[in-house]
């Protein structure tokens, strides 16, 4: 898939999910505020962050899938990873805000006024969130988009969070004043847990942590005809992996034949590891 086709695909997904996220977040915030449900409003802001992430993604993907240039010879894919990192940090800030509001509600508890409209909004958003999470995850894998996969994980969290809000509604109908702020606290904890995972994954990519186990690379290369040994394997990247390695071959091998060995190594790694986009093979004599 070309850079341009991948960019158009990611932008199409982000725009569609932006509209859906704006719809469900607006409904939850407006209705939650009207009935006095802290948990529902927190869930609405959680969904609103999904929409803001879609906007960020639309801006970032304009640059992230640009082809390599003299200033960025390895491409621009880390623009997308940087956006995923910002997404995670934004989630952490939101988690703190929700927790702060829940703590204040514990000190002055009150019962939200549950209406048929509030039930309809929550069950409707459940259906939307199931669809958005499935759609983004499917397209993220197809388009090899780290940002879409991260955003799909965030949207999946909305499903569990919304179920918690539904439980708080049942508690409010039973007269349990502490359940609404308790669910809001749980939402804050869940958002924070999700955020930490996204931040760690993005941090690993940005700091060039090994993307593939070196032994797995060496095992594939060792099976290539003409290769005696393989060593000094280095990998980096996330959904786009770059590989450097040293392959030891017969010292008397003609240059053309040695070049063919390097080509076979590249083809073997691309076949074994679809995420690999570039392979640099350093040939050295084995004797």
* pLDDT (tens digit per residue) in 178-212: 777 788 788 788 878 878 888 898 888 888 888 88
Q: What is the pLDDT of residues 25-81, one digit of tens each?
A: 888 888 888 888 877 887 787 777 777 778 777 777 777 767 777 887 777 777 777
Domains and CATH numbers, the chain: 3-206 (1.20.1510.10), 214-285 (3.30.70.1350)
pLDDT at residue number 89: 86
Pairing of strands 229-237, 241-249: antiparallel
Nearest alpha carbon to residue 36 among 232, 224, 207, 180 = 180
Number of Cβ within a 10 Å radius of residue 225: 7
pLDDT in tens, 86-132: 878 888 887 887 787 777 767 776 667 778 888 888 888 888 888 88
Q: What's the whole-model pTM score?
A: 0.66
Taking CA atoms, 24 is separated from 43, 134, 155, 171, 232, in Å, by: 10, 16, 12, 23, 51
pLDDT of residue 266: 92
CA distance 7 to 16: 14
> What is the mean predicted confidence (pLDDT) over 244-262?
89
Of 87, 109, 131, nearest to 36 (Cα)?
109
């Amino acid at each position: 898939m070309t850079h341009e086709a991948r960019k158009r695909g990611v932008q199409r997904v982000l725009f569609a999910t932006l509209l859906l996220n704006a719809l469900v977040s607006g409904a939850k915030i407006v209705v939650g505020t009207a009935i006095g449900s802290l948990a529902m409003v927190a869930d609405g802001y959680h969904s609103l962050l999904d929409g803001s992430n879609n906007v960020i993604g639309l801006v970032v993907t304009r640059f992230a899938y640009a082809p390599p240039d003299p200033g960025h010879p390895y491409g621009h894919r880390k623009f997308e990873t940087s956006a995923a990192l910002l997404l995670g940090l934004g989630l952490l800030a939101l988690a703190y805000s929700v927790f702060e509001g829940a703590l204040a509600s514990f000190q002055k508890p009150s019962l939200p006024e549950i209406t048929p409209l509030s039930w309809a909004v929550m069950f409707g958003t459940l259906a939307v969130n199931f669809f958005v999470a499935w759609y983004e995850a499917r397209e993220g894998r197809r388009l090899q988009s780290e940002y879409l996969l991260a955003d799909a994980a965030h949207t999946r969290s909305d499903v569990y969070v919304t179920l918690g809000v539904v439980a708080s509604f049942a508690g409010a109908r039973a007269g349990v004043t502490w359940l609404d702020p308790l669910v809001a606290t749980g939402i804050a904890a869940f958002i924070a847990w999700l955020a930490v995972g996204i931040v760690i994954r993005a941090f690993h990519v940005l700091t060039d942590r090994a993307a593939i186990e070196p032994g797995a690379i060496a095992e594939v290369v060792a099976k290539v005809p003409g290769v005696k040994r393989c060593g000094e394997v280095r990998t980096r990247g996330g959904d786009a992996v770059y590989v450097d390695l040293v392959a030891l071959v017969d010292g008397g091998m003609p240059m053309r034949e040695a070049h063919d060995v390097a080509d076979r190594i590249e083809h073997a790694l691309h076949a074994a590891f679809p995420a690999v986009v570039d392979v640099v093979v350093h040939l050295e004599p084995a004797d």
